[in-house]
């Protein structure tokens, strides 16, 4: 990883930055080589007003996906020049408001692709084979021996997998599916190049056709107005009763209330979820269901990956505040305006 060399600031002239929550020591060391850093190693939750107050005299910030950066926050941050998110997604940041205010927004693509795909496959397998339910059964001391119909699940090998969102993570999922001899269908805003389809052995289909055909539906699409409740009651009703849904993308792509109803009614077999509408709050119905595997937004949660994500965000911040174009710029028009 290339680290931008420190700028020639005197001690009193260093830009001031905020790291909103606890982070790795090596990340803070990198930032302190360039900036005056206010950290939050106590990992205290910052509500809107607390975040606004801390940003009021900052030139840049390292944000986590749990930080909501909106116009109200920005109005109280007149010096802010860079908002660097430790995530590939950035729907927690009002990019349009940042662009209007001349604030560079960055994310951390690429470094978490394979780790996230690993968890997606793990969720799919756990939901299909009822692993959460079976593990709770054993821990409760209820297992009294082997039985022919005990915890029957769904086969993964040779099944049909549908992927909604054939970006980096979707393609990594498709590569893993080849090892299980799965047929891969995909739906995307834009069809990927033919050579990519051939390499992944994946076939483009409409969403409606996919829903009818798949045994497993993997969602890796980002959240936007266009993907809000992309999967709701009508789409769930179109799926096989043996189908398994996995949401690895973002909360809001699935109508969680409709999914609870479908799981409760047996409309689909099971689900594996790492993201939710309104997280960290969950629809209360999920807690009552045995046929759903729930993880707390941990798709990128390995130490190696989270360090890479944080260092990528820190290098974006160093670049943004030392006159260099950040490598992972979300709103390049702000940079273009600065160069005019």
Q: Rounded to the nearest 5°, which phi and psi values hold at 193? A: -60, 150
Residue 268: name the closest of 238, 243, 231 by CA: 243
What pLDDT, on the 0 to 100 scale, is given for residue 181? 98
Please check whether residues 36 and 90 belong to one and the same domain. Answer: yes
Q: Is 80 within 8 Å of 74 (Cβ atoms)?
A: yes
Please check whether residues 314 and 248 belong to one and the same domain. Answer: no
Residue 220: name the closest of 209, 212, 231, 236 by CA: 231
pLDDT tens by residue, 135-161 = 999 999 999 999 999 999 999 999 999
Residue 172: name the closest of 119, 241, 250 by CA: 119
Provide the CA 303 distance to its chain's centre, in angstroms.
Answer: 16
Please check whether residues 161 and 60 belong to one and the same domain. Answer: no
Please check whether residues 83 and 190 belong to one and the same domain. Answer: no
Please check whether residues 118 and 267 belong to one and the same domain. Answer: yes
Inform me whether the pLDDT recorded for 10 exceeds 50: no
pLDDT tens by residue, 160-190 = 999 999 999 999 999 999 999 999 999 999 9
62 bridge partner residues = 19, 84
- 127-131: which pairs have CB atoms within 8 A and are 24 or more residues apart? 127/244, 127/246, 127/270, 127/271, 127/272, 127/291, 127/292, 127/293, 128/153, 128/154, 128/155, 128/156, 128/216, 128/244, 128/269, 128/270, 129/153, 129/154, 129/156, 130/270, 130/290, 130/291, 131/293
Q: The domain that contains 39 carries what CATH number? A: 3.40.50.720
Inform me whether the pLDDT recorded for 9 exceeds 70: no
Inform me whether the pLDDT recorded for 2 exceeds 70: no
38 in any annotated domain? yes
28 in any annotated domain? yes
Inform me whether the pLDDT recorded for 99 exceeds 50: yes
Q: What DSSP line would sit under 163-213, residue for residue?
A: EE--SHHHHHHHHHHHTTT-EEEEE-SSPPPHHHHHHHTEEE--HHHHHHH
Out of 4-8, 198-202, 216-220, 273-277, pick the least confident.
4-8
Please check whether residues 231 and 307 belong to one and the same domain. Answer: no
Q: For residue 83, what are the domain limits?
A: 16-109+302-339
Provide the CA 14 distance to its chain's centre, in angstroms.
Answer: 33
Q: Tell me how far CA of residue 329 lies from CA of 75, 309, 326, 333, in angstroms.
A: 22, 14, 6, 9
Please check whether residues 270 and 312 belong to one and the same domain. Answer: no
What pLDDT, on the 0 to 100 scale, is given for residue 257? 98
What pLDDT, on the 0 to 100 scale, is given for residue 338? 87
All residues at 6 or more sequence positions from 170 whose CB lies less than 8 Å from its CB, including other chains: 163, 164, 186, 188, 218, 220
Please check whether residues 74 and 167 belong to one and the same domain. Answer: no
Q: Which helix (H) or strand (E) holds 216?
A: strand 216-219
Strands of the sheet with 104-106, listed across from one edge: 36-38, 16-19, 60-63, 82-85, 104-106
Our CA angle for 189, 97, 43, nearest 5°, is 95
Catalytic residue numbers read 250, 279, 297
Please check whether residues 207 and 73 belong to one and the same domain. Answer: no
| Predicted structure pTM score | 0.89
What pLDDT, on the 0 to 100 scale, is given for residue 339? 82
Our CA angle for 201, 203, 207, nearest 5°, is 145
> How many separate domains does the chain show?
2
Q: Rounded to the nearest 5°, which phi and psi values hold at 292? A: -140, 135
Please check whether residues 120 and 53 belong to one and the same domain. Answer: no
b/e per residue, 254-266, with b = 16+ CB within 10 A? bbbebbbebbeee
Inform me whether the pLDDT recorded for 6 exceeds 60: no
Instruction: State the pairing for strand pair 160-164/82-85.
Output: unpaired
User: Which band of pLDDT confidence, cut at 50, 70 and 90, is reported for residue 12?
Assistant: low
What pLDDT, on the 0 to 100 scale, is given for residue 8? 42
11 in any annotated domain? no
Residue 179: name the closest of 203, 200, 164 by CA: 200
pLDDT tens by residue, 54-63 = 999 999 999 9
Inform me whether the pLDDT recorded for 215 exceeds 60: yes
pLDDT tens by residue, 317-333 = 999 999 999 999 999 99
Please check whether residues 166 and 288 belong to one and the same domain. Answer: yes
pLDDT tens by residue, 235-278 = 999 999 999 999 999 999 999 999 999 999 999 999 999 999 99
Inform me whether the pLDDT recorded for 221 exceeds 90: yes
188 in any annotated domain? yes
Question: What is the rounded average pLDDT of the residues 58-77?
Answer: 96
What pLDDT, on the 0 to 100 scale, is given for residue 136? 97
65 in any annotated domain? yes
Please check whether residues 98 and 129 belong to one and the same domain. Answer: no
What pLDDT, on the 0 to 100 scale, is given for residue 340? 75
1 in any annotated domain? no
């Amino acid at each position: 990883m290339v680290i931008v060399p420190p700028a020639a600031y005197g001690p009193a002239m260093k830009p001031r930055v905020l790291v909103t929550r606890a982070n790795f020591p090596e990340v803070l060391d990198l930032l302190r080589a360039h900036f005056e850093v206010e950290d939050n190693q106590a990992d205290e939750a910052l509500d809107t007003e607390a975040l606004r107050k801390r940003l009021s005299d900052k030139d840049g910030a390292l944000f986590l996906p749990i930080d909501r950066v909106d116009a109200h926050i920005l109005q109280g941050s007149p010096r802010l020049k860079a908002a660097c998110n430790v995530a590939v997604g950035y729907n927690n940041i009002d990019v349009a408001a940042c662009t209007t205010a001349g604030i560079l927004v960055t994310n951390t693509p690429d470094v978490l692709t394979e780790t996230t795909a690993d968890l997606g496959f793990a969720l799919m397998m756990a939901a299909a084979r009822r692993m959460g339910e079976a593990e709770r059964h054993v821990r409760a001391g209820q297992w009294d021996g082997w039985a022919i119909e005990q915890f029957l699940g769904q086969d993964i090998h040779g099944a049909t997998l549908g992927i909604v969102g054939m970006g980096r993570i979707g393609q990594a999922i498709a590569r893993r599916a080849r090892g299980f001899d799965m047929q891969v269908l995909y739906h995307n805003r834009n069809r990927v190049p033919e050579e990519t389809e051939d390499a992944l052995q994946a076939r483009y289909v409409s969403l409606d056709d996919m829903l009818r055909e798949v045994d497993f539906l993997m969602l890796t699409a980002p959240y936007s107005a266009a993907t809000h409740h992309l999967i709701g009651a009508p789409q769930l009703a179109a799926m096989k009763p043996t189908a398994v849904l996995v949401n690895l993308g973002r909360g809001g792509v699935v109508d969680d209330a409709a999914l609870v109803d479908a799981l409760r009614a047996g409309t689909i077999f099971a689900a594996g979820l790492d993201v939710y509408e309104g997280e960290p709050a969950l629809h209360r119905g999920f807690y009552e269901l045995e046929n759903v595997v729930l993880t707390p937004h941990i798709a990128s949660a390995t130490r190696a990956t989270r360090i890479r994500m944080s260092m990528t965000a820190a290098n974006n911040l160093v670049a943004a505040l030392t006159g260099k174009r950040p490598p992972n710029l979300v709103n390049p028009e702000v940079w273009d305006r600065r160069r005019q």
